[in-house]
Chains A and B, each alone.
Chain A
Amino acid sequence: MAKITASVYTSHVPAIGAALDLGKTQEPYWQKVFSGYEYSKQWMKDNKPDVIFLVYNDHATAFSLEVIPTFAIGTAAEYTPADEGWGPRPVPKVQGHPELASHIAQSVIQQDFDLTIVNKMDVDHGLTVPLSLMCGQLDKDTGAWPCPVIPFAVNVVQYPVPSGRRCYNLGRAIRNAVESFDQPLNVHIWGTGGMSHQLQGPRAGLINAEWDNRFLDRLIDEPAKLAELPHIDYVREAGSEGIELVMWLIARGAMSDKAPTVKHRFYHVPASNTAVGHLILENNA
């Protein structure tokens, strides 16, 4: 049977991708960000999964205003890095895992979560920046990500966005789905986006380090209670784009009910407009 052994949480700021792609990683500004992922890159090598289930949000890239799925699971064999207006990131294509993705779709839909099934989409920085942070820089032609990835896109762009509780319970359904897959796969689930940031209006640049760190504490220790937090609290306290943090609850919900082992925790301000938060939790089944 397949098993979720660990979850990873990280911000997915586009400027982090640009810093990597333009060779700025040694600049002091960016070194402070990347230093938080040195442990993580080694951990990925030491704990290489068979599949990554990667929860992220599409930033008006694959989904325009024509179609806005609340939860979309990628069941394709391959995904191309998107041109978001500045050309595609020079990173390898992302290989999917159609069999596991289709199984998860079937199981989760039968557990009453209405997923949208996507067989063709480009993936934006929301998906590729976390991969770069955790796996390091790879040549777009000769490099390859360490394993297949199942993209799982959540609408946090146009309201209504799903509640924290809905996301947490969806994570639990994904856990059931993975555990009922009949191949012995080691699966990691990643929750990305956040932490506090606001990219719009006179309030742009809002950061709330105290709130973010409390969020990290509660994500580790009392995720079900954290999942009850209403959207307006995210907006007021962590900025309009801080709402992305509901996606972390999907990954956390997919973990075992036993307390996880915290392998790594990192927090830094700023990366561009954003507070960078990062956790690695291992399951204690």
Chain B
Amino acid sequence: MSLDKPYLDVPGTTIFDADQSRKGYWLNQFCMSLMKAENRQRFLADQRAYLDEWPMTEAQKQAVLARDLNRCIGEGGNIYFLAKLGATHGKSFQQMAGSMTGMTEEEYRDMMIAGGRSAEGNRHAGEDGNAQPQHQPQGSAAKPGF
């Protein structure tokens, strides 16, 4: 019997379950290594060389180099692990979260101050809320990634 996944129809959302965790094991463990200041320095000095020390897939490494968190999550990353990557680049959780929406930093911050994203239309796939695939990207950010 495979995993029961009642959450697959929530739009714009990836639940970090055992399948994702297995897929992203080394990507996430690489992120954990960035909790040490000396590793952050080594990573920033030569990102590619540091990544090549880890048994990650090329797609995972490219997603990290592009600082594209949607791609990282697609490759099995989890936001609490990826937060170490963001912090290494000096980014806050708000900057990281916003970078996954297509909005600029200001657009995302303004949305939050105005009360955040509504759940209306964003509960189930097939509805018409702003997190649905037909409305991506949502803002005027020049490129994906933070």
Interface string of B50-72 (1 = CB under 8 A from A): 00000000000000000001100
- With contacts A83-B35, A158-B16 taken as known, whether A202 is within 8 angstroms of B10 at the C-beta atoms is no
In the bound complex, CA of A160 to CA of B108 (Å): 30
Q: Is A69 an interface residue (CB 8 A)?
A: no
A70–B34 Cα gap in the complex (Å)?
A: 24
**Given A59-B80, A85-B84, A236-B123, also A201-B73 (CB < 8 A):** yes
Say yes or no: A270 contacts B116, CB within 8 Å.
yes
Categorize the interface residue count of chain B. Answer: 35 or more
Interface size on A, residues (CB 8 A): 48
How many A-B residue pairs have C-beta atoms within 8 angstroms? Tell me.
169
Q: What B residues does A207 contact at CB under 8 A?
A: 112, 115-118
B131 and A232 contact, CB distance less than 8 A: no
Given contacts A85-B34, A237-B119, A270-B112, contact A203 B13 (CB under 8 A): yes
Pick out which of these stretches binds chain B: A45-53, A60-68, A110-118: A60-68
List residues of B (30-62) whose CB comes within 8 Å of A's CBs: 31-32, 34-37, 40
For chain A, residues 247 to 285, give those with C-beta under 8 angstroms from any C-beta of chain B: 269-270, 272-273, 275
Judge whether A87 is part of the interface by a CB distance below 8 angstroms: yes
Question: Is the Cβ of B21 less than 8 Å from the Cβ of A232?
Answer: no
B28 to A: closest C-beta gap in Å: 5
CB B45 to nearest CB in A, in angstroms, measures 17
Please, which residue of chain A has its CB at the minimum distance from the CB of B124?
A236
The closest CB in chain A to the CB of B32 belongs to A64
Given A159-B15, A273-B93, 11 other A-B residues pairs in contact with their CB atoms under 8 A? A84-B83, A85-B34, A158-B16, A158-B18, A199-B97, A204-B100, A205-B101, A207-B112, A237-B119, A241-B79, A275-B116
- 30 A-B residue contacts at CB 8 Å? A14-B93, A15-B94, A60-B80, A60-B84, A64-B32, A65-B29, A83-B35, A83-B36, A85-B34, A86-B87, A157-B78, A158-B16, A199-B79, A200-B73, A200-B79, A201-B14, A202-B11, A202-B131, A203-B13, A203-B117, A206-B117, A235-B15, A240-B13, A240-B15, A241-B79, A270-B113, A272-B92, A272-B93, A272-B94, A273-B94
Nearest first, the 4 closest Cβ-Cβ pairs linking A and B are A207-B116, A85-B87, A203-B12, A202-B12
